[in-house]
């Protein structure tokens, strides 16, 4: 266990603000989470829950000039042991982290690669920048990386363009790109959502192998609890810009405390109940995230089957169930 | 690739044939007769008839068309009625100012338009974008003849930096001739930069919001490299298109500017030929202009394949 050493990434009470034409909105409020070296933290939530904004805040890629970190800290422990708060690093300074110590892969492998540059060039470009390699050395490192992510005939494929590859191959290329400078932290934002199920399993296995071999921390963002069960060590569940529950993966699946987490788990197809006609019916959570954001009480209360009047009135705090299990629900003991 | 170019070339010939045919019949639809214009008010009917016979103008139009087309296919555009020389020779004499005017104009237009469009897109919605967009709007709205007169008034008459008009004395050096093109080229460059600015801005805005630009940022690249290599590299196709089409238009369409600056170019040649119903010159010049237009389009198509690996012929 890596508990003794400082966490690789520790986000504390992060608040992000977007200025819009209709006034500021706060898509992420008071988010805390941690990622340890060699472990995977899954960040789970529906679309619009703030999970991708959280990841962009770590990378310093919030859309400028509209988005900014309003409060909180993002402590990252560097390769040389130094711990820096990424929230205070100026935009220019963030370039030294991006692609080098922190790498990111995205949901859309079809559009995340530059269509007019070869695969090899796109990887070599980053290698030359961060590892200060020459043109030839960078090119051969790019080929090595393509081999590492199990792309056959890497030397030839390095000279191909993205449109000559399938979606699964492109996501492998994105992973090769991300791994090319041996990052300490990999942020994977829904990396398998756009892929076929069989390809999805291969990509998950690949990310997991690279994490083990390189003692790399992974922040895995997804809305898919099935994927979480396969890959995560720790799970943080977000709802409407807040963390509602954090726990170890077993603990979370076996003893979910927050009604939202429970609802999410019961939505999994394998938990589908048999209906009156004997067929299995997949469950859904009624309502949507939007519309409850300005309410003073619990954000999930309008959709919660266990909600009482008190839930609408006061905003619940994150409460410790166990030392490693936190929940934001005033009624968790009663449920 | 080679087969594709041959195919394009064949298509070009079809276009050229249609243009030639349309030009031939359209010029004859206009009222007026070159023979009577040439001989003046005092000429007798027999003299006019005589002259019409000399140039074959007494034949039925369809016969004239077939005879003319035969010659055109052999590369003979005919004799000018007024200029005492072949049409090809007349065009060749006027080609230099038009060619270099178009070349310098498009270079200036691109040198202004592309950087302005990039700057405008990168700082979208901010003060600099508003200034550039307003400037582009202004440049697009100014008539080139008026800007030409303004430039002559200021840069030539008041400051004395450039010649007022013309293409230098006969027998002047090449450099001297080019010097006479600087002012008209600036005028055309500024006026035509507006469209290039708008296209560049639009194309860059599309590209800068693409996922691969976010990937480039995630790689830690410098902003300049993100915008120029990953942004502009993908925005080039529409930019090349608008620059190429503008260049094509300039080859045939700088008539007003040539007139304002008294340049002996093809535009001038066509205008005087139209006024005198010099059919062979009108036809010949329009065919040459159409040919250049089609050639530029072909080069744009070929350029695409270098700029974007997804384009295949």
Residue B61 belongs to what domain range? 2-73
pLDDT at residue B208, rounded to an integer: 93
Average pLDDT estimate for B281-305 = 87
Tell whether A171 is within 8 A of chain B (Cβ): no
Q: How close, in Å, is residue A8 to chain B by CA atoms? A: 19
Predicted ipTM? Answer: 0.85
Is residue A55 within 8 Å of A69, Cβ to Cβ?
no
Predicted confidence (pLDDT) per residue in B88-104, tens digit: 888 888 888 888 999 99
Is residue A111 within 8 Å of B210, Cβ to Cβ?
yes
Answer yes or no: do B199 and B223 share one domain.
yes
Q: Of A154, A182, A210, which residue is a domain's last?
A: A182
Distances (CA, A) of A139 to A109, A178, B29, B168: 22, 15, 66, 56
Tell whether B125 is within 8 A of chain A (Cβ): no
Matching residue, tokens 């200021």: B154
pLDDT at residue B292, rounded to an integer: 87
With 0-12 / 13-18 / 19 or more C-beta atoms within 10 angstroms meaning exposed / middle / buried, residue B125 is exposed
Distances (CA, A) of A151 to A214, B117, B209: 19, 40, 29
Helix axes A197-214, A167-179, angle to 10 degrees: 10
Q: Which two tokens stand for residue B44?
A: 């007798």
Query: Closest-CA residue in chain A for B126?
Result: A65
Task: Write the residue in A97, A100, A116 that is nearest to B308 by C-beta.
Answer: A116
The answer as to whether B233 is a domain residue is: yes
Answer yes or no: do B17 and B109 share one domain.
no
pLDDT at residue A247, rounded to an integer: 93
The answer as to whether B15 is a domain residue is: yes
The SS3 of residue A26 is strand
Residues on chain A touching B221 (C-beta within 8 angstroms): 95, 99, 125-126, 129
Instruction: Say how far apart CA A43 and CA A53 lie, in whole Å.
Output: 12
The answer as to whether B180 is a domain residue is: yes
Is residue B237 within 8 Å of B304, Cβ to Cβ?
yes
How many structural domains comprise chain B? 2
Choose between A278 and B174: higher pLDDT.
B174
The answer as to whether A147 is a domain residue is: yes
- Give the other-Cβ count within 10 Å of A303's Cβ: 18
Residue in A223, A226, A229, A330 with CA at minimum distance from that of residue A285: A223
User: How far is C-alpha A319 from the geometric centre of its chain's CA atoms?
Assistant: 23
Average pLDDT estimate for B278-293 = 86
Instruction: Say how far apart CA B193 and CA B202 lie, in whole Å.
Output: 14
Question: CB within 8 A of A143, min separation 6: which ones?
Answer: A120, A154, A155, A158
The answer as to whether B80 is a domain residue is: no
Determine, for residues A163 and B219 on separate chains, whether the beta-carbon distance falls below 8 Å.
Answer: no
Q: Which two tokens stand for residue A21?
A: 């034409």
Answer yes or no: do B152 and B257 share one domain.
yes
How many structural domains comprise chain A? 2
Residues on chain B touching A130 (C-beta within 8 angstroms): 220
Is residue B16 within 8 Å of B287, Cβ to Cβ?
yes
Instruction: Say how far apart CA A207 and CA A40 lie, in whole Å.
Output: 10
Instruction: Say how far apart CA B19 and CA B290 lie, in whole Å.
Output: 7
- Give the other-Cβ count within 10 Å of B311's Cβ: 13
Distances (CA, A) of A301 to A43, A80, A294, A296, A328: 21, 45, 12, 10, 12
Q: What is the DSSP string of B91-106?
A: HHHHHHHHHHHHHHHH
Query: Closest-CA residue in chain A for B235?
Result: A116
Per-residue pLDDT of chain A (335 residues; tens, 9 = 90+): 444 467 999 999 999 999 888 888 888 988 999 999 999 999 998 888 888 899 999 999 888 778 899 999 999 999 888 899 999 999 889 999 999 999 999 888 889 999 999 999 999 999 999 999 999 999 999 999 999 888 999 999 999 999 999 988 999 999 999 999 999 999 999 888 888 888 888 889 999 999 999 999 999 999 888 889 889 999 999 998 899 999 999 999 999 999 999 888 887 777 666 666 767 666 777 776 655 456 678 888 888 888 888 888 888 888 888 888 999 988 888 87
Answer yes or no: do B153 and B44 share one domain.
no
The answer as to whether A300 is a domain residue is: yes
Residue in A79, A82, A203 with CA at minimum distance from that of residue A130: A79
Determine, for residues A174 and B215 on separate chains, whether the beta-carbon distance falls below 8 Å.
Answer: yes
Answer yes or no: do B24 and B110 share one domain.
no
Tell whether B32 is within 8 A of chain A (Cβ): no
Average pLDDT estimate for B273-288 = 86
Q: What is the DSSP string of A262-294?
A: HHHHHTSGGGPEE-TTS-EE----SS-STT-TT
> Would you tell me which residues 113-132 of chain A have a C-beta closer than 8 angstroms to some C-beta of chain B?
113-117, 125-126, 129-130
Query: Closest-CA residue in chain B for A187?
Result: B218
pLDDT at residue A276, rounded to an integer: 67
Tell whether A103 is within 8 A of chain B (Cβ): yes
Q: Which two tokens stand for residue B225?
A: 């490299």
The answer as to whether B79 is a domain residue is: no
Answer yes or no: do B196 and B278 share one domain.
yes
Q: Of A148, A182, A216, which residue is a domain's last?
A: A182
Q: Which two tokens stand for residue B8?
A: 């394009």
> Most B CBs within 10 Å: which of A97, A112, A123, as the mutation test of the B interface?
A112
Predicted confidence (pLDDT) per residue in B28-85, tens digit: 887 777 777 777 777 788 888 887 887 777 788 888 888 888 888 888 888 887 788 8
Q: Of B73, B103, B128, which residue is a domain's last?
A: B73
The answer as to whether A83 is a domain residue is: no
Q: How confident is the model at residue B243 (pLDDT cuts 50, 70, 90)?
A: very high
pLDDT at residue A59, rounded to an integer: 93
In DSSP terms, which residues pair with A68 in a beta bridge?
A17
Determine, for residues B212 and A125 on separate chains, whether the beta-carbon distance falls below 8 Å.
Answer: no
The number of C-beta contacts closer than 8 angstroms across A and B is: 71
Q: What is the CA radius of gyration of chain B?
A: 24
Q: Of B47, B73, B99, which residue is a domain's last?
A: B73
Determine, for residues B215 and A113 on separate chains, whether the beta-carbon distance falls below 8 Å.
Answer: yes
The answer as to whether A205 is a domain residue is: no
Phi, psi of A311 (to 5 degrees): -60, -35
Determine, for residues B211 and A97 on separate chains, whether the beta-carbon distance falls below 8 Å.
Answer: no
pLDDT at residue B267, rounded to an integer: 86
The answer as to whether A311 is a domain residue is: yes
pLDDT at residue A2, rounded to an integer: 43
Residue A136 belongs to what domain range? 112-182
The answer as to whether B81 is a domain residue is: no
pLDDT at residue B70, rounded to an integer: 87
The SS3 of residue B279 is helix
pLDDT at residue A1, rounded to an integer: 44
**Which value, to the nearest 10 degrees, does the dihedral of the CA atoms of residues B142, B145, B147, B150 take?**
-140
- β-pairing verdict for A217-222 and A185-189: parallel
The answer as to whether A46 is a domain residue is: no
Answer yes or no: do B25 and B59 share one domain.
yes
pLDDT at residue A3, rounded to an integer: 46
In DSSP terms, which residues pair with A238 in a beta bridge?
A243
Answer yes or no: do B12 and B100 share one domain.
no
The answer as to whether A151 is a domain residue is: yes
Instruction: Say how far apart CA A114 and CA B207 lie, in whole Å.
Output: 10
Q: How confident is the model at residue B277 (pLDDT cuts 50, 70, 90)?
A: confident
- Where residue B194 sits, what CATH number does that domain have? 1.10.3720.10
Answer yes or no: do B69 and B92 share one domain.
no
> Most A CBs within 10 Å: which of B125, B212, B231, as the mutation test of the A interface?
B212
Half-sphere exposure of B184 (CA within 13 A, CB side): 31
Answer yes or no: do B291 and B208 share one domain.
yes
pLDDT at residue A333, rounded to an integer: 83
Q: Of A163, A182, A201, which residue is a domain's last?
A: A182
pLDDT at residue A42, rounded to an integer: 94
Give start and end residues of each alpha helix (H) in chain B.
Answer: 2-29, 34-39, 45-54, 61-73, 87-122, 127-141, 144-151, 174-208, 211-218, 223-225, 233-253, 255-260, 266-275, 279-307
Answer yes or no: do B67 and B114 share one domain.
no
Phi, psi of A114 (to 5 degrees): -70, 120
Task: Write the residue in A61, A96, A163 that is nearest to B217 by C-beta.
Answer: A61
Task: Write the residue in A61, A114, A174 that is nearest to B230 by C-beta.
Answer: A114
CA geometry: angle at A144 spanning A141 and A148, to 5°? Answer: 135
The answer as to whether A125 is a domain residue is: yes
Answer yes or no: do B101 and B248 share one domain.
yes
Task: Write the residue in B218, B234, B307 that is nearest to A98 by C-beta.
Answer: B218
In DSSP terms, which residues pair with A237 in a beta bridge?
A44, A245
Peptide bond into A223 cis (omega under 30): no
Q: How close, in Å, is residue A95 to chain B by CA atoms? A: 4
- β-pairing verdict for A217-222 and A40-44: parallel
> Would you tell me which residues 17-76 of chain A have a C-beta closer than 8 angstroms to some C-beta of chain B?
59, 61
pLDDT at residue B28, rounded to an integer: 80
């Amino acid at each position: 266990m890596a508990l003794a050493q400082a966490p690789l990434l520790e986000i504390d009470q992060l608040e992000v603000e977007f200025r819009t034409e209709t006034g500021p909105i706060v898509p992420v409020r008071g988010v805390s989470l941690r990622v340890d070296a060699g472990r995977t933290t899954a960040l789970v939530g529906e679309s619009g829950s703030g999970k991708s904004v959280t990841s962009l805040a770590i990378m310093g890629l919030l859309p400028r000039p509209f988005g900014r970190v309003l409060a909180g800290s993002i402590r990252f422990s560097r390769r040389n042991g130094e711990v820096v708060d990424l929230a205070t690093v100026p935009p220019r300074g963030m370039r030294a982290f991006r692609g080098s110590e922190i790498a990111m892969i995205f949901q859309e492998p079809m559009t995340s690669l530059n269509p007019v540059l070869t695969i090899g060039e796109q990887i070599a470009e980053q290698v030359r920048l961060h590892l200060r390699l020459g043109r030839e050395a960078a090119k051969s490192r790019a080929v090595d990386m393509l081999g590492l992510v199990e792309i056959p005939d890497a030397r030839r494929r390095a000279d191909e363009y993205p449109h000559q590859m399938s979606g699964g191959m492109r996501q492998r290329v994105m992973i090769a790109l991300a791994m090319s400078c041996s990052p300490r932290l990999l942020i994977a934002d829904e990396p398998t959502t756009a892929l076929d199920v069989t390809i999805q399993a291969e990509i998950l296995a690949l990310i997991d192998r690279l994490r083990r071999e390189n003692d790399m921390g992974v922040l895995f963002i997804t809305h898919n609890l099935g994927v979480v069960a396969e890959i995560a060590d720790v799970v943080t569940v977000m709802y409407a810009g807040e963390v509602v529950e954090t726990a170890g993966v077993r603990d979370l699946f076996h003893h979910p405390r927050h009604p939202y987490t429970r609802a999410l788990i019961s939505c999994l197809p394998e938990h589908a109940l048999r209906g009156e006609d004997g067929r299995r019916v997949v469950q859904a959570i009624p309502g949507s995230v939007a519309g409850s954001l300005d309410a003073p009480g619990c954000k999930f209360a309008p959709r919660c089957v266990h909600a009482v009047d008190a839930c609408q009135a006061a905003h619940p705090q994150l409460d410790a169930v166990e030392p490693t299990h936190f929940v934001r629900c005033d009624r968790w003991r009663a449920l | 690739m080679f087969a594709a170019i041959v195919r394009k070339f064949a298509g070009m010939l079809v276009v050229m044939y249609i243009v030639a045919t349309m030009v031939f019949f359209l010029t004859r639809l206009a009222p007026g007769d070159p023979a009577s214009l040439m001989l003046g008010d005092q000429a007798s009917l027999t003299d006019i008839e005589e002259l019409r016979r000399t140039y074959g103008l007494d034949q039925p139009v369809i016969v004239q068309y077939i005879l003319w087309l035969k010659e055109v296919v052999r590369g003979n555009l005919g004799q000018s009625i007024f200029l005492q020389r072949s049409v090809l020779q007349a065009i060749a004499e006027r080609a230099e100012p038009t060619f270099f005017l178009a070349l310098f104009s498009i270079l200036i237009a691109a040198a202004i338009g592309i950087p302005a469009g990039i700057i405008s897109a990168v700082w979208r919605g901010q003060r600099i974008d508003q200034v550039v967009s307003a400037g582009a709007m202004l440049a697009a709205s100014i008539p080139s003849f008026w800007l030409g007169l303004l430039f002559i008034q200021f840069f030539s008459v008041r400051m004395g930096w450039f010649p007022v008009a013309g293409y230098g004395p006969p027998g002047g050096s090449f450099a001297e001739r080019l010097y006479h093109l600087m002012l008209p080229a600036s005028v055309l460059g500024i006026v035509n930069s507006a469209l290039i600015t708008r296209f560049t801005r639009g194309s860059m805005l599309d590209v800068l919001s693409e996922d691969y630009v976010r990937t480039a940022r995630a790689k830690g690249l410098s902003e300049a490299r993100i915008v120029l290599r990953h942004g502009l590299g993908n925005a080039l196709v529409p930019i090349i298109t608008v620059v190429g089409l503008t260049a094509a238009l300039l080859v045939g369409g700088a008539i007003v500017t040539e007139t304002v600056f008294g340049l002996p170019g093809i535009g001038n040649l066509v205008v005087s030929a139209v006024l005198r119903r010099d059919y062979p010159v009108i036809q010949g010049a329009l065919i040459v202009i159409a040919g250049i237009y089609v050639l530029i389009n072909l080069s744009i198509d070929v350029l695409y394949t270098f700029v974007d690996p997804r384009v295949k012929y």
